[in-house]
């Protein structure tokens, strides 16, 4: 298993490196470049929560707003032992570029709490979440900064944040978070949106490469929300075979294809993929190097690196996760001719349907799932076409192209708004 706690890898430095390469192509002047590059506001809170034994435990949490030139900050909250301020900065900046590349009227934000949710019971999670949310009350809001789920956070946690915020301001505020349960203003299709959006752009990439997904094989690193739904839809809607997956506790490998609905049910019951009947285990390094059509990194940052990129045999790498590929690995993949669907495009389905949820909350009028998915499809396809066209025009890889589209839109918003006062 690869951990993102590699001491030499800093996701914020990696994010700024990619930003700079796009800003160079756009020949951004220094003022606009710096305004777009650095974070706007950063909040660090050290806060207490009550544990099951009645003792008080201190936690550290972050919320970062990277850029709000195009709209309120938007981005998930992550619960993980390895969360750092630099990771949250990087994730917030990727949200800015993601919203811009698919043309959604939001800026970028992100949050995180250093904790191990796997060792906490529901009461402890609720106690920690509510106290963290109350620390954020003056910082977030439906017109200011709108959190959503990320790694190890879910609709229940969003419900506690929505409730805590609402109690503070004295009335229910549905639009303060997205990814909520349907019963309190969640959107149909939100849970599946990241995986679904990822499959929409994989389909377009396959068409572009003349690759038949029906006979195709895929590998998923990180069988969580984004990874399992992408796997499920590749099988159910395209007839592809998923030959290997893993998660934080193990792996499942079957060269003839895994039973994905069965594996999802097995993971829901046991909490892991290892030991799934009819599968063997496989080490992550071997799994990433399997010959396949599509490789979907869907866990954490720093997975495809200078050490393993040359061994990757996939035709398409679709980044359901944020930041799974290091800048050094990017170059190697490009030179090998691997077609990369960069994170800010490939996983933009999540924030797109979060945007739909926020629109539905503002209107108090809710859409059918069919309408959610059709609108998601249009936005993802437009994003893909725009990025591909830009890659061809500037003769650059898809990541640089996505950043050129996104940074250009943010820079334009900064210029046209001007500098206050």
Catalytic amino acids?
110
User: Phi/psi at 369 (nearest 5 deg)?
Assistant: -60, -35
Q: Does 147 bind ligand NAD (CB under 6 A)?
A: no
Please select the residue that binds ligand NAD; options are 300, 388, 401, 413, rule is CB under 6 A: 300
Q: What DSSP line would sit under 128-176, residue for residue?
A: HHHHHHHHHTTT-BTTTEEEEE-TT--HHHHHHHHHHHHHHHTS--GGG
**Residue closer to ligand NAD, measured from CB, 19 or 223:** 223
Q: Does 149 bind ligand NAD (CB under 6 A)?
A: yes
Q: Does 398 bind ligand NAD (CB under 6 A)?
A: no
The residue count for binding ligand NAD (CB under 6 A) is 26
CB of 414 to ligand NAD, least distance (A): 25
Q: Does 265 bind ligand NAD (CB under 6 A)?
A: no
Of 106-145, binders to ligand NAD (CB under 6 A) are none
CA distance 358 to 399: 28
Dihedral Cα 28, 29, 35, 36, nearest 10 deg: 0
Sign of dihedral through CA atoms 18, 319, 341, 66?
negative
Sign of dihedral through CA atoms 76, 77, 83, 88?
positive
**Residue 302 tokens, joined:** 């720093």
Q: Does 299 bind ligand NAD (CB under 6 A)?
A: yes
CA distance 70 to 281: 46
Which stretches of 323-368 are DSSP H helices?
327-336, 343-346, 348-363
Please select the residue that binds ligand NAD; options are 129, 302, 322, 408, rule is CB under 6 A: 322
Q: Of 397, 393, 354, whose CA–CA distance to 174 is shortest?
A: 354
Pair 111, 78: CB distance under 8 Å: yes
Please select the residue that binds ligand NAD; options are 10, 127, 178, 194, rule is CB under 6 A: 194
Q: Which stretch binds ligand NAD (CB under 6 A): 11-19, 220-228, 325-333, 406-414?
A: 220-228
**Residue closer to ligand NAD, measured from CB, 32 or 87:** 87
Of 151-190, binders to ligand NAD (CB under 6 A) are 151-152
The interface mask with ligand NAD, positions 331-360, x = CB under 6 A, is ----------------x--x----------
Q: Of 350, 354, 340, whose CA–CA distance to 384 is shortest?
A: 340
DSSP 209: T
**Residue closer to ligand NAD, measured from CB, 190 or 241:** 190
CB of 187 to ligand NAD, least distance (A): 12
3-state secondary structure 95-109: HHHHHHHCCCCCEEE
Q: Which stretch binds ligand NAD (CB under 6 A): 10-18, 201-209, 224-232, 377-385?
A: 224-232
User: Phi/psi at 296 (nearest 5 deg)?
Assistant: -115, 100
**Residue closer to ligand NAD, measured from CB, 288 or 413:** 288
**Residue closer to ligand NAD, measured from CB, 201 or 299:** 299
Q: Does 223 bind ligand NAD (CB under 6 A)?
A: yes
Helix, strand counts (H, E) of the chain? 14, 11
Q: Does 309 bind ligand NAD (CB under 6 A)?
A: no
Please select the residue that binds ligand NAD; options are 21, 127, 203, 225, rule is CB under 6 A: 225
CB of 121 to ligand NAD, least distance (A): 18
Chain residues that interact with ligand NAD, rule: CB under 6 A: 1-3, 149-152, 194, 221-227, 246-248, 298-300, 320-322, 347, 350
């Amino acid at each position: 298993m690869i951990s993102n706690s590699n001491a030499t890898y800093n996701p914020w430095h990696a994010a700024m490196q990619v930003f700079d390469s796009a800003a160079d192509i756009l020949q951004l002047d220094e003022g606009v470049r710096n305004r777009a590059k650095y974070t706007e506001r950063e909040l660090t809170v050290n806060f207490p929560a009550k544990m099951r034994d009645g003792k008080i435990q201190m936690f550290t949490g972050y919320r970062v707003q990277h850029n709000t030139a195009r709209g309120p900050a938007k981005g998930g909250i992550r619960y993980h032992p390895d969360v750092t301020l630099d990771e949250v900065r990087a994730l917030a900046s990727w949200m800015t570029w993601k919203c811009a590349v698919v043309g959604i009227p939001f800026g970028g934000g992100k949050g995180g709490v250093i904790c191990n949710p796997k060792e906490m019971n529901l009461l402890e999670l609720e106690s920690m979440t509510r106290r963290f949310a109350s620390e954020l009350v003056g910082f977030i809001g439906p017109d200011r900064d709108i959190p959503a789920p990320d790694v190890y956070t879910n609709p229940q946690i969003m419900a506690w944040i929505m409730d805590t915020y609402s109690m503070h301001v004295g009335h229910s505020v549905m639009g303060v978070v997205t990814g909520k349960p349907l019963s309190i203003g969640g959107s149909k299709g939100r849970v599946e949106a990241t995986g679904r959006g990822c499959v929409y752009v994989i389909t377009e990439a396959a068409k572009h490469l003349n690759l038949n997904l029906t006979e195709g094989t895929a590998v998923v690193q990180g069988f969580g929300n984004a990874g399992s739904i992408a796997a499920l839809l590749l099988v159910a809607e395209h007839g592809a075979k998923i030959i290997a997956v893993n998660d934080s506790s193990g792996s499942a490998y079957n060269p003839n294809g895994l039973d994905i609905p069965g594996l999802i049910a097995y993971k829901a019951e046991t909490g892991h993929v290892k030991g799934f009947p009819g599968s063997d285990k496989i080490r992550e390094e071997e799994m990433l190097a399997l010959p396949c059509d599509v490789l979907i990194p869907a866990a954490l940052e720093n997975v495809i690196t200078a050490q393993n990129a040359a061994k990757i045999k996939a035709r398409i790498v679709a980044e359901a996760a944020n930041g799974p590929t290091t800048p050094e690995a990017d170059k190697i993949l490009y030179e090998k001719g691997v077609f990369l669907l960069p994170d800010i495009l490939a996983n933009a389905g999540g924030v797109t349907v979060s945007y739909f949820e926020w629109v539905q909350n503002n209107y108090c009028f809710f859409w059918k799932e069919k309408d959610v998915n059709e609108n998601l499809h249009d936005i993802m396809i437009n994003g893909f076409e725009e990025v591909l066209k830009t890659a061809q025009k500037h003769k650059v890889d898809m990541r640089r192209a996505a950043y050129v589209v996104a940074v250009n839109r943010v820079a334009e918003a900064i210029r046209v708004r001007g500098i206050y006062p």
